Amino acid sequence: MALPKWTEERTSALISFVGDESPISQVTVAEAADQLETSTRSISSKLRKMGYEVELASASAGKSFSEDQEATLRAFVTDNSGRYTYAQIAEHFDSGSFSAKSIQGKILSMELTEHVRPAPKWRAFVLTLKKKKQPSLRWLMTALMSKLSQKRWVVQ
């Protein structure tokens, strides 16, 4: 969906919508975006170009971790130092309500990364086919089992 262009009519409608609010809140930006049938990003950008002060979207989003959750995460990570990966911490912490990436970001910001076990490295291998025709499933399974038995593989 293409966003509509900013015409003088749309610009004046935006100016009258926001009035003299300063800084312009993300709630007002969202309402203006609905009324003008465009994105909040487009509204914020247009207002900033016109010299208005607009609240940052990231500032209005709030914290994803409460102070209690942060303290609990800190205790969990330090008490289990080196035991869990980010994915495993995400599974165990707060009934799995946070993704591994958000857990990783929070642990990084709390400077606790030395307490996290590194994730296992995945190894790749290539089966070289010497036959010109398509191999049978039995041949592929045998070759795969042979390769897997040669090295230590992590299967999850």
pLDDT in tens, 86-124: 999 999 888 888 888 989 999 998 999 999 999 887 766
Q: Can you read off the two tokens belonging to residue 147?
A: 């390769």
> Max Cα separation, the chain?
76
User: How distant, in Å, are the alpha carbons of 110, 129, 144 from that of 150?
Assistant: 41, 18, 10
- H-type alpha helices, the chain: 8-18, 26-36, 40-49, 57-61, 67-79, 86-92, 100-109, 137-150
Q: What is the pLDDT of residue 137?
A: 79
- Which range of 56-60, 78-82, 139-143 scores highest in mean pLDDT? It is 78-82
Q: Does 156 have pLDDT greater than 50? A: no
- 8 A C-beta contact, residue 115 and residue 77: yes
Domain membership of residue 128 (yes or no) is no
CA distance 151 to 139: 19
Percentage of the chain lying above the pLDDT 70 cut: 81
Domain membership of residue 78 (yes or no) is yes
Same domain (yes/no): 27, 50: yes
Same domain (yes/no): 81, 51: no
pLDDT band of residue 79 (cuts 50, 70, 90) is very high
pLDDT tens per residue, range 125-138: 565 666 566 777 78
Number of domains observed in the structure of the chain: 2
Q: What is the pLDDT of residue 125?
A: 59
Same domain (yes/no): 53, 13: yes
Same domain (yes/no): 56, 71: no
Domain membership of residue 146 (yes or no) is no
Q: What is the pLDDT of residue 121?
A: 76
Domain boundary among 61, 84, 99: 61
Domain membership of residue 27 (yes or no) is yes
Domain membership of residue 12 (yes or no) is yes
Residue partners of 99: CB distance under 8 A and separation at least 6: 90
Q: What is the pLDDT of residue 78?
A: 95
Domain membership of residue 45 (yes or no) is yes
Q: Which domain holds residue 94?
A: 67-115
Domain boundary among 81, 100, 115: 115
